[in-house]
Chain A
């Protein structure tokens, strides 16, 4: 099965998120970057499927040229081909992102002379969280899509997909070529091996320059939500604090 995974490069903040002085981006001066978690799992799923059933995994990202780092990482954990749609580094709105990704996918499929049987997106990106790019791309390609997927089982001409709901799972049987929005928890992503790291350096990077026009949603400013003031009461510095803790548990009626 030939699978395409669309991933996003996002900053990895720690105890708080700082914003640049113009309010247009997360201040990443002292931060590392990572692949948005749902997509990391989507990639792992794709690699596991091709290891089992054969085929190739292509990873596509739209982002700044530095997003090559996430593509190389993807190659180090099993992706065969990597494609970058470079931006100027500014945040693209969901409509614009979806148009550009669709064009990049169509170009790649023409070069392959066949459609990707499965395209995986993260359910939502970790940073902007627009909950729509995968759905827009699937619609432009005329393919089915279901979101919130935590289980994928490919068969001939279809994939069985499990969606998490409050009380368990919904099961879908989607004909291929199909698109799925994947959630973290579907698997445990592997870490790169030394061999994988070496191979990733050699992976050929395709650059797909694409222009797409802006959509109707425009970022004005990012800001942090008001913080709840907290006055931490220190109950102790050793296990004797257990008495005070159980007093509290009794007081609030859970013990």
Chain B
């Protein structure tokens, strides 16, 4: 009896999402009354067995095959399907990262089983499992039931669980496994990587200065750039701005953009539509600058200034320069 957790890594570098996966797994496995086994696939996987053991894994399945050196959703999905055949877990889970959801979808498609993506809480039962999952990128929740004769397949929403240290290490018995992969699965294996921008990104910045339609033009963002630079932060924007062509989509905060979690989010000329808000709500503090005191962004913010952003933003920049003697 086991819960199989599909862990992620980048050529032997443990993914931060694994800590969330194992935290969620401890609760779920306890509720199911089963042990936690993990699956690690590909080059460098064996090096992570110690970490998996420390995180509470009873059995560490390490899958090796020449076709698993680089990521391929079909090859990895097929590998886990074969592992499920050999180990018969009662449930299989991952964290709902881009890869996590894709691998579970591949497993579900291959086994023709239901798959519940981005769960918040899971209550196992004898027949149906009761699950609460994320819709609308987190703006809405769905209570759902999962009924299947096969293993239950699910992911937990990325960042839906706060990672905690394992209550105790597991036995960590390493079992190597070589799947039988058809050569045709090479069709979806990564052929090249284009690694870019090191340094501060929107998702890791400690300050994000964002502009919405209220900024009025692409040029209007220069004021925001200057302030963000002074604070070592990044400029963000709303989807209205992306659609107007004022900024690149890589700057977009929200459901279909980037999720941010800065120390402070300065949202200027942004109304705070729900799809924007879900991308910004993990910010530690929010300062809204808006001419409309009723705007959702203002109502939900920690601090607000009810005024024209074109006056307030340069004033902040000037005040910082004055204090720093610049």
Binding site for B on A (CB under 8 A): 13-17, 19, 26, 37-38, 93-95, 98, 124, 126-132, 135-136, 138-140, 144-148, 162-165, 167-175, 181, 183-185, 188-189, 215-225, 228, 230, 232-243, 245-246, 248-250, 252-255
Contacts and interface: CB of A to CB of B under 8 A. Distances in A.
A224 B88 CA distance: 36
B71 to A, nearest CB: 7
B304 A249 contact: no
A169 to B, nearest CB: 4
Interface of chain A: mostly helix, strand, loop or mixed: mixed
25 contacts: A13-B274, A16-B139, A17-B136, A26-B140, A38-B256, A94-B114, A124-B117, A135-B109, A136-B108, A144-B74, A147-B102, A148-B98, A168-B194, A170-B194, A172-B188, A223-B141, A224-B139, A225-B138, A238-B311, A239-B314, A239-B315, A242-B315, A252-B264, A254-B232, A255-B231
B147 A218 contact: yes
B118 interface: yes
Interface of B: 71, 73-74, 96, 98, 101-102, 104-106, 108-110, 112-118, 130, 134-148, 155, 187-198, 206-207, 230-233, 239, 242-243, 245, 249-250, 252, 255-257, 263-264, 271-275, 281, 284-285, 287-288, 293, 296, 298-307, 311-312, 314-316, 318-320, 323
3 residue pairs, one from A and one from B, having the closest CB atoms = A216-B114, A185-B249, A239-B315
Contact of B319 (A139, A238, A246): A246
A14 B239 CA distance: 13
B299 A232 contact: yes
A232 to B, nearest CB: 5
A164 to B, nearest CB: 8
A245 to B, nearest CB: 5
B98 A147 contact: yes
A181 B109 CA distance: 15
Contacts of B243: 188-189
Contacts of A236: 305-307
B141 A222 contact: yes
B303 A233 contact: yes
Given A132-B115, A147-B73, A252 B263 contact: yes
B236 to A, nearest CB: 14
A252 B303 contact: no
Contacts of B136: 13, 17, 126-127, 129
Contacts of B139: 13, 16-17, 224-225
Contacts of A14: 273-274, 296
Given A26-B140, A188-B245, A241 B191 contact: no
Contacts of A224: 139-141
A139 B138 CA distance: 28
A239 B312 contact: yes
Given A175-B187, A254-B263, A220 B193 contact: no
A128 B135 contact: yes
A191 to B, nearest CB: 9
Contacts of A19: 140
Given A15-B271, A239-B307, 4 more contacts: A220-B142, A234-B305, A235-B303, A245-B312
B294 to A, nearest CB: 10
B74 A132 contact: no
B304 A216 contact: no
Nearest to B139: A17
B278 to A, nearest CB: 10
Contacts of A15: 271-274, 296
A129 B271 CA distance: 24
B107 to A, nearest CB: 10
Q: Which of A17, A135, A145, A184 has the most CB of B within 10 A?
A: A135
Contacts of A16: 139, 274, 296
A185 B252 contact: yes
Contacts of A225: 138-141
Contacts of B242: 185, 188
B233 to A, nearest CB: 7
Contacts of A170: 71, 190, 192-194
B271 to A, nearest CB: 7
Contacts of A131: 96, 101-102, 104-105, 117-118, 155
A127 B135 contact: yes
Contacts of B189: 172
B273 A230 contact: no
Nearest to A173: B191
Given A237-B305, A242-B315, A246-B323, A129 B299 contact: no
A135 B110 CA distance: 9
Given A145-B73, A232-B304, A238-B311, A243 B319 contact: yes
A17 B115 contact: no
